[in-house]
Amino acid sequence: MTVQSNTSIKKQKSLSCLKKYIKKYFVSYLIGFAALIFVNLILLQFPMITGRITDGLRAESYSLINLRDDIILLLVLGLLVTVGRFIWRYFIFGTSRKIEYGLRGDFFWHLEKLSLRFFNEHKTGDLMAHATNDLNAIRMMVGPGVLMVLDAVILTLLVVSKMLIDINVTLTLFAIIPLPIITVASTLLGKIIKSRFKEKQEAFSRMTEMVQENISGIRIIKAFVQEAKEICVFNKTNQNNYNKNMRVVKLFALLFPLANLITGLSIALALGYGGYLTMIGQLSLGRFVAFIQYILMLVWPMLALGWCINIISQGTASLKRFQIILNEQPDIYDNPNTKAIHHIDGSILFKNLTFMYPNTSLHALNQITLTIKQGQTLGIVGRTGSGKTTLVNLLLRLFDPPRGTIYIDGHDILDIPLKVLRNHIGYVPQDNFLFSETIERNISFAFNKSYSEQVIEAAKKANVHENIAEFPMDYQTMIGERGVTLSGGQKQRISLARALMIKAPIMILDDSVSAVDTKTEEKILQELVNERKNKTTLIIAHRLSTIKNADKIIVIDDGRIVESGTHDELLLNKSIYYDMFQLQQLELAEE
């Protein structure tokens, strides 16, 4: 994690995510724009050439040599237009793809840095919508959007200038009178489109969220036979998404017919007045033909303006949504007091630790004081919601504890570099998350390359090697999403093997053998005793047999340590731990 001060965080918030890419690809844009201007200058020559041919043929002063030369000239100019269009497409559209690629990388990297609070408050579907629809809208804005704005402005100025200078001033002014109406209408509609597009993107995010949740929870949906209900809810969400899209489409549908109507009016005026000037001899037929071609050339900029307004309106709306996520800063980061610590031995001290989760008023932990010496095994038990997992989350700094409440090797945990802290703690969480990868890659996840022998060794210690060997491709077997193709016990043991791979001086096992039978549990625990000599281990368990041999056991209730001692000492107390033990013994006797 990069060291970030509060000042740098505030500075980052003021910067647009596009600025660095505009600066980086500025030269590419210049080349593309230069090619675009070059093409437009060539296009201006076509009407003049056809006009010259028309006048020459009408006056019968045009020879075959003149015709041949003009046709060759048209072909050469056409070839130059083709080359020029390839260049501007490559540099402008290609650059927009590079910006999209860079922004997507920035987005993913930024998400990786954010703290748990952010992911608790934002749904996966919404984040996926940002990474797909919003990014696509931004790419369209910085590619086709920028191109069409420039093309429309430059081509309009060049064409109107050519018409004023080489054709007829009065006719030109008369013909272009209706065209500014398109600009005004497009601007007004663009503001409405921007607002409606934001609503459309939010509706798409909600629909994506729902689909993602349904796919993730498909087993629950089927188990409770709620397919029809979920389809009904989806239909409402889908209908809302459709309605928001149609609100944008209706405006878009209005914009282009309006542009066509006004452009058609301009052409009609040009034909009427230009035809009259030609008939009375004030304008040659060739110049009149050239003028009509110039008017037709103005149709594209006017239509492009409508496209531009739509694309830029959508792009800016998406950019604001995208920028909001990039402005989010991690709650957990290395502070200026971070020490140059490179190794952790494993002694831990909790000193009057009191903690409340953000936006809550209840204490998750209250006055926790506890010493764990290097090499000790600590067992942690307690009712669901008593604060066991919170304790280890703070040790991992998934949330920051108050300063002066947790020490490792005598150092305040807030002063230990995050990377060093987490590299020295092996962690097996409750949910046993596995990736859609091979078993080998899941076990060696903490390493950038494969270590086949070490993977097998870790799997044997986790008592899962024999199960893996039975798979058709053993360690190269691809597991489903979140390890869905494995049993609960197999997932737990593969997660345990992953933690054992790093041989960390501190290991946290959060109810990590609850899904295995007691015989397998005994084998795993014995391996842990051998593996974890002189290393600190914290074991959260509901099954007391898991922690009965721990050097120390604490019982947490309502965020407080209410009992502490060895297994035998706690049984003699005949308090909460004793009651839990008696209840579990009774359950075992009934099985």
Reported as half-sphere exposure (CB side, CA atoms, 13 A), residue 496 has a value of: 31
Helix, strand counts (H, E) of the chain: 24, 10
In this structure, is residue 41 part of a structural domain?
yes
How far from the centroid of its chain's Cα atoms is residue 254's Cα? 33
pLDDT at 590: 63
The amino acid at residue 273 is Y
- Whether residue 126 is contained in a domain is answered as yes
Among candidates 375, 377, 499, which has minimal Cα distance to 429? 499
Comparing C-alpha atoms, which of 7, 11, 22 is closest to residue 319? 22
- Among 451, 486, 503, the domain boundary falls at 503
3-class state of residue 415 by DSSP: helix
- Give how far Cα 182 sits from Cα of 2, 248, 257, 266, 304, Å: 50, 18, 11, 11, 11
Q: Which residues contact 44 (CB under 8 A, 6 or more apart)?
A: 158, 159, 162
Do 492 and 404 share a structural domain? no
Q: Beta 406-408 vs 377-382: how paired, if at all?
A: unpaired
Residues 117 and 131 reside in one and the same domain:
yes
Single-letter residue type at 133: N
395 and 487, same domain (yes or no): no
In terms of domains, do 285 and 396 share one? no
Last residue of a domain, one of 503, 522, 557: 503
Check whether residue 120 and residue 92 sit in a common domain.
yes
Residues 397 and 452 in one domain: no
Residues 457, 589 within the same domain:
no
**383 within a domain of the structure (yes/no):** yes
Residues whose CB is less than 8 angstroms from the CB of residue 502 and which lie 6 or more positions away in sequence, other chains included: 423, 426, 446
CA–CA gap between residue 135 and residue 132 (Å, rounded)? 5
Name the domain boundary from 268, 300, 327.
327
| Backbone φ and ψ of 336, nearest 5° | -60, -20
pLDDT the model gives residue 2:
41
Other CB atoms within a 10 A radius of the CB of residue 83 amount to 12
82 within a domain of the structure (yes/no): yes
Q: Do residues 113 and 180 both lie within one domain? A: yes
Is 206 a member of any domain?
A: no
**∠ CA(291), CA(181), CA(275), 5° rounding?**
25
Burial of 76 (0-12, 13-18, 19+ CB in 10 A): exposed
Same structural domain for residues 103 and 27?
Answer: yes
Res 394: pLDDT: 92
462-486 residues labelled b (16+ CB within 10 A) or e (exposed): bbbbebbeebeebbeeebeeebeeb
In a domain, 573, yes or no: yes
Q: How many CA atoms lie within 13 A of 29 on its CB side?
A: 17
Scanning the structure block, which residue is given the tokens 């989806």? 234
Q: What is the CATH number of the domain that holds 368?
A: 3.40.50.300
Residue 274 has a pLDDT of 79
User: Measuring CA to CA, which residue among 329, 338, 331 is closest to residue 399?
Assistant: 331
Digitized pLDDT (tens) for each residue of the chain, 591 residues in all: 343 444 343 334 434 788 888 889 999 999 999 999 999 899 888 888 888 888 777 766 777 887 788 888 889 999 999 999 999 989 999 999 999 999 998 888 888 888 888 887 777 777 887 888 888 888 988 888 888 888 888 888 888 888 888 777 887 777 777 767 766 776 677 677 777 877 887 888 788 878 877 877 776 777 677 788 888 888 888 898 899 888 888 877 776 677 677 777 777 877 788 788 888 888 788 888 888 888 777 777 776 776 777 788 778 888 888 888 888 888 888 888 788 888 899 899 999 999 998 778 888 999 999 999 999 999 999 888 888 989 999 999 988 999 999 999 999 999 999 889 988 998 888 777 888 888 888 888 888 766 678 888 888 888 888 888 888 888 888 887 777 778 888 888 888 888 888 888 999 998 887 777 778 888 888 888 888 888 999 999 888 888 888 999 999 998 999 999 999 999 998 888 998 888 888 877 665
Place of tokens 């950038």: 448
Q: Is 390 exposed, middle or buried (0-12, 13-18, 19+ CB in 10 A)?
A: buried
Residue 1 lies in a domain: no
Tell me, yes or no, whether 493 lies in a domain.
yes
Tell me: do 440 and 568 sit in the same domain.
Answer: no
Burial 29-43 (b: 16+ CB within 10 A, else e): bebbbebbbbbbebb
CA–CA separation, 555 vs 484, rounded Å?
33
Task: Give residue 591's domain range.
Answer: 344-424+504-512+538-591
Domain match, 488 and 590 both:
no
Our count of domains for the chain comes to: 3
Does 380 share its domain with 395? yes
